[in-house]
Amino acid sequence: MGARDITFEGLSAPVRTVNCDGLIEDMASYVPCWPFSVSDMGPTDACATLAFNGSAWMIQSPHTKAPRVHKTEVNAACDLLSILASAMIAQEPGLLCFHAAALETDDGLVLFPAVRRSGKSTLAAILMARGAKLFTDDYLPVQGSGKPDPPSSE
């Protein structure tokens, strides 16, 4: 155990972790489609720091007002993902992040935006059982075009 950095593809700053080896091992299951690498702590500033004290996880970030404490690894990972979404938006101002489940169907991508613990993942699991392909069950980054299309005269 010790300090390690998790660098997520597309983010310029890593997540610094302290005594979080278990969470690091589970990270691929939390973000299966977001490539990341783990390294010893580097000299770069971190977009967030996540520390485990043996009974709780604390997250600090310039993207939150105050440090946050979580009693479960899953809650810490979910909070970390929301902080990473904020870091992505800060890094790329044209990016829009939806807090949503998104599933691919024959008709295209269907989004279910909602607040935390409202059933997005449950709905996603039900639809997957019926043949839909999971795209995300937490947040969906979308690159904006920069300018809205003019209204149609039709």
**pLDDT at site 114:** 82
Q: Which fold has domain 3-91?
A: Rossmann fold (3.40.50)
**What rounded mean pLDDT belongs to the chain?**
84
* pTM confidence score: 0.71
**pLDDT at site 139:** 75
Q: Where are the domains of the chain?
A: 3-91, 95-143
Identify the CA nearest to 113 among candidates 93, 96, 138, 132.
138
**pLDDT at site 103:** 87
Residue 151 has pLDDT above 80, yes or no: no
Q: 131: Cβ–Cβ under 8 A, 6 or more apart, which residues? A: 105
Task: Assign 144 to helix, strand or coil.
Answer: coil
Alpha-carbon distance of 21 to 27, in angstroms, equals 10
